[in-house]
């Protein structure tokens, strides 16, 4: 429940980013948009990143492998939803290619995760109560950190740039979760998935940061 409250607050913070960060000469127009309850496209794109997580139940079971995969599914879905929304409006070839790659890769991973859930639910108890408590507390702390990083983004009102700015902490959240499960898991499938997420998404974060340096 604490995670859902955090994400609800995050959604509200995104709704106000537009007014807080807008240039002076566009404040009136942006305020009119807020008054009509029409969030900016940049706000919608960032909201899409965390909406599936806000709607999902954050799993805190004593099966850490199951928790990791179950909670990663809505995280991946948020990246997919945001990328699809961007593609409806973006004309930037490089950013469009990034969005298309995110959709392809993370849809495939969600299918992989969902196929692993049934056997994971039957997995014998592998973790001590202390490990379960430590893992779940850290998972929630990492989620909160990701939320704070995303809510602190200063929108530029340029959708390609804002998409990349939002995707960096979003990806970092997946990297952190993957590094965390590697400290505990005894499951070879989970190890392989976590290592792949770390490798792929750290490379993408570097790609996003490099591309952002070319944007104005």
State percent of the chain over pLDDT 90: 78
pLDDT < 70 stretches in the chain: 1-38
Cβ atoms of residues 170 and 79 within 8 Å: yes
Looking at residue 37, its pLDDT comes to 58
**Minimal CA–CA distance to 174: which of 60, 56, 86, 50?**
50
* Domain count of the fold of the chain: 1
Domain limits for position 49: 2-212
C-alpha angle 179-184-190 in degrees, rounded to nearest 5: 70
Looking at residue 1, its pLDDT comes to 46
124: enclosing H helix or E strand? none
Q: What are phi and psi of 213, to 5 degrees?
A: -65, -20
Looking at residue 115, its pLDDT comes to 98
Tell me how far apart the alpha carbons of residues 45 and 200 are, in angstroms, rounded to a whole number.
Answer: 22
- CA distance to 105, 149, 204, per residue, from 11 (Å): 26, 13, 25
CATH of the domain at 170: 1.20.1260.10
Looking at residue 124, its pLDDT comes to 85
Count of CB atoms within 10 A of residue 120's CB? Answer: 19
């Amino acid at each position: 429940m604490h995670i859902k409250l955090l994400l609800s607050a995050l959604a509200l913070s995104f709704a106000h980013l537009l007014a807080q960060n807008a240039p002076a000469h566009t404040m009136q127009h942006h305020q009119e948009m807020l008054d009509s309850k029409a969030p900016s496209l940049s706000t919608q794109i960032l909201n899409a990143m965390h909406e599936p997580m806000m709607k999902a139940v954050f799993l805190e079971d004593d099966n850490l492998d199951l928790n990791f995969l179950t909670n990663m599914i809505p995280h991946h879905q948020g990246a997919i939803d945001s990328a699809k929304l961007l593609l409806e409006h973006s004309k930037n070839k490089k950013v469009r290619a990034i969005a298309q790659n995110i959709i392809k890769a993370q849809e495939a991973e969600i299918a992989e995760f969902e196929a692993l859930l049934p056997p994971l639910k039957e997995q014998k108890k592998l973790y001590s109560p202390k490990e379960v408590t430590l893992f779940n507390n850290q998972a929630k702390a990492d989620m909160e950190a990701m939320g704070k990083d995303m809510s602190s983004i200063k929108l530029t009102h340029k959708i390609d740039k804002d998409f990349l700015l939002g995707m960096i902490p979003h990806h970092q959240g997946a990297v952190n979760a993957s590094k965390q499960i590697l400290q505990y898991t005894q499951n070879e499938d989970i190890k392989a998935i976590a290592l792949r997420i770390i490798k792929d998404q750290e490379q993408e974060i570097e790609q996003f940061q490099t591309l952002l340096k070319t944007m104005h």
